[in-house]
Amino acid sequence: MRRRDFLGVMGGALLAGPFSTKADANVSIPYDWNATPPMDSRSSFIDWMIKTRGEDPHFLGERFDRFTQLISHHDVWNTRNKRAYLLTPREDFVTAANRSRAYEWHYLDIGYGVTITGPHTVARMTNTIDPQYGEKVLEVGTGSGYQAAYLSNLTDKIWTIEIIRPLYDRTDGIFADLIARGYSEYGAINRKNADGYYGWPEFAPFDKIIVTCGIDHVPPPLLQQLKPNGVMVIPIGPPGAQHVLKITKSVGSDNAITVARSDIYNGAIVNFVPLTRLENGRASGTHSQ
C-alpha cells in the first residue's frame, strides 16, 4: 500500500464525532527541531509554550505537572524524550468527555472498545526504543493518534497502522485539524488501515517498532521487519497478565539471528487491549494463539 499523504485528508475530514473541535492552538512559528521548552519551571514552560505554540495555559500546567511525575517514576529519562512529551498536546487526542482528564495517570476510553494509553506507559515505552532523528519507526495500533504524534517529535519517519476503520477515519480528522492549526511535524506520519500483525513490509526494515496492543507472542512478521540491532517494545502475555518487553534483534557474523528480551517494568503486569485480527474486512478475534 502506498504511503498516505496526510495533507490529502485535510479537505473534508476535520475533527468530528465525540472529539472536541475547540481550536486551542494557533502555531504561528515554524517547527524547529532544535527548540526545546524550559523543563525546570512550570511558569517558564507555560509562557514559552503560549508564545511558540499558542496552547491553552490550563492544559499546559497539567502537562507539566504530569511531566514531574514521569520523571519521579523514571518513565522518561533523557532530554529528547522529555521534549517529545512536553510538545505533544494530549488533550487533543482524548474524547471531549475525557478532555478534563487528559493528563490523569489512567488509560481513557476512546470508543470502539479501545483506549488511549496512559502517559506514563507511553513515555516509558517510547523512551525505551528511543528513536533518533531520521530513524524509521513502525507503530502497531494507532488508536487516538497520540503515540504517533509523540513520536513525530523524535523522528521524521513514522508509519502507523490501525485495524478499526471508523477509528482510523476519525483519527484522520484529528491529524488534519492539528496540521491545519500549525502542527506541521504531524505531516511526517504515514498511516494505513490494516492488520498490524503483518507490519508494513513495503517500507521495512524499521529501526524501531512499538506495539500498543497485547498478544501472547512476538509476531514473526514484525521481527522480520526489524533491522539488525533494532529495538521493539511490545506487551506480551494473556489478557490480564501482560508484560511490556523490550526486544533487541542482533545478527551475528554467521547471519544467525539472536533475540534478547527484557521486561521494562521489571515483572509488573501492564494490561493492553488485544491485538485484533482482520477477517473479511472487519476486526474480529485476536492474534493470540
Res 285: pLDDT: 82
Please report, for the domain that includes residue 264, its CATH number.
Answer: 3.40.50.150
Among 128, 109, 140, 100, which Cα is nearest to 20's? 100
Residue partners of 73: CB distance under 8 A and separation at least 6:
120
pLDDT under 70 in the chain at which residues? 1-25
What sign does the CA torsion over 43, 47, 49, 50 have? positive
Domain containing 151: what range? 6-23+106-286
Partners of 146 in the β-ladder: none
Cα(82)–Cα(65) distance, rounded to whole angstroms?
Answer: 13
Please tell me the pTM assigned to this model: 0.90
Among 58, 52, 66, which Cα is nearest to 99's? 58
Helices and strands counted in the chain (H then E)? 7, 11
Domain count, the chain: 1
Cα(112)–Cα(206) distance, rounded to whole angstroms?
Answer: 29
Would residue 241 count as lying in a domain? yes
Would residue 137 count as lying in a domain? yes
pLDDT tens readout for residues 246-277:
999 998 888 888 999 999 999 999 999 999 99
Would residue 204 count as lying in a domain? yes
Res 108: pLDDT: 97
Res 24: pLDDT: 52
Cα(171)–Cα(9) distance, rounded to whole angstroms?
Answer: 11
Would residue 73 count as lying in a domain? no
Would residue 125 count as lying in a domain? yes
Cα(8)–Cα(2) distance, rounded to whole angstroms?
Answer: 13
Cα of first residue to Cα of last residue in the chain, in angstroms, is 27
Would residue 135 count as lying in a domain? yes
CB atoms within 10 A of CB 31: 18
Cα(224)–Cα(204) distance, rounded to whole angstroms?
Answer: 9
Among 37, 40, 21, 38, which Cα is nearest to 29's? 37
Would residue 182 count as lying in a domain? yes
pLDDT tens readout for residues 3-50:
333 333 333 333 333 444 444 558 879 999 999 999 999 999 999 999
Would residue 230 count as lying in a domain? yes
